[in-house]
Chains A and B, each alone.
Chain A
Amino acid sequence: DTGVSQNPRHKITKRGQNVTFRCDPISEHNRLYWYRQTLGQGPEFLTYFQNEAQLEKSRLLSDRFSAERPKGSFSTLEIQRTEQGDSAMYLCASSLGTGDEKLFFGSGTQLSVL
């Protein structure tokens, strides 16, 4: 499968725990995005990378959220001290990074914070 891969598919955790999600983009894609989506809403932008550089991070994102893309390939999104309000689908997407290209999304990681 050469699409965007996200792991795990589902994550259930207790409030206060830390969680980490992984995204493997399409191999030749330079851009990588993280979005969050809750029921009945569109994807909400979190952050994006051009290769290993994090170009923008949403102002809505608290300091509990951090993302990395150390070698410009896969990326991780960590949430520290999870809260019930963090429960959502976390979507990763990648693109070529050449300008106005389309995004290819992964299937997402569904996070449930109990």
Chain B
Amino acid sequence: RKEVEQDPGPFNVPEGATVAFNCTYSNSASQSFFWYRQDCRKEPKLLMSVYSSGNEDGRFTAQLNRASQYISLLIRDSKLSDSATYLCVVRARQGGKLIFGQGTELSVKP
């Protein structure tokens, strides 16, 4: 089993749609959780951290369920500029390496 697994994608949605990405992780002792965004042929960039209480940044909402070892990202009112690959990322221990999922590709169409 992979340490971090994501929905395979791709997700093709119209502008204005709401889309949700799911991610599971295998190490129950994992400490920190993130969503990174990667545009085509570009490097990954941090989108947002994921906190136990859930957190929101504009149209983006991240949730963490430690009991189920599950992370989600919700994007509301999708924009064309949201088209990218979304990477679920887990840090197993404080100060340790970041482990990336395979990524889920999102394509927002007009």
Contacts and interface: CB of A to CB of B under 8 A. Distances in A.
A103 interface: yes
B64 interface: no
Given A100-B32, A100-B91, A100-B94, A106 B101 contact: no
A106 B98 contact: no
Given A43-B100, A100-B32, A105 B91 contact: no
**Chain A interface main SS type:** loop
Given A40-B102, A100-B91, A45 B97 contact: yes
Interface residues of A, number: 20
Contacts of B87: 42-43
A106 B100 contact: no
A91 interface: yes
Contacts of A43: 44, 87, 100
Nearest to B31: A100
Interface of A: 33, 35, 40-45, 48, 56, 91, 97, 99-100, 102-103, 105-108
Interface of B: 4, 31-32, 34, 42-46, 49, 87, 91, 94-103
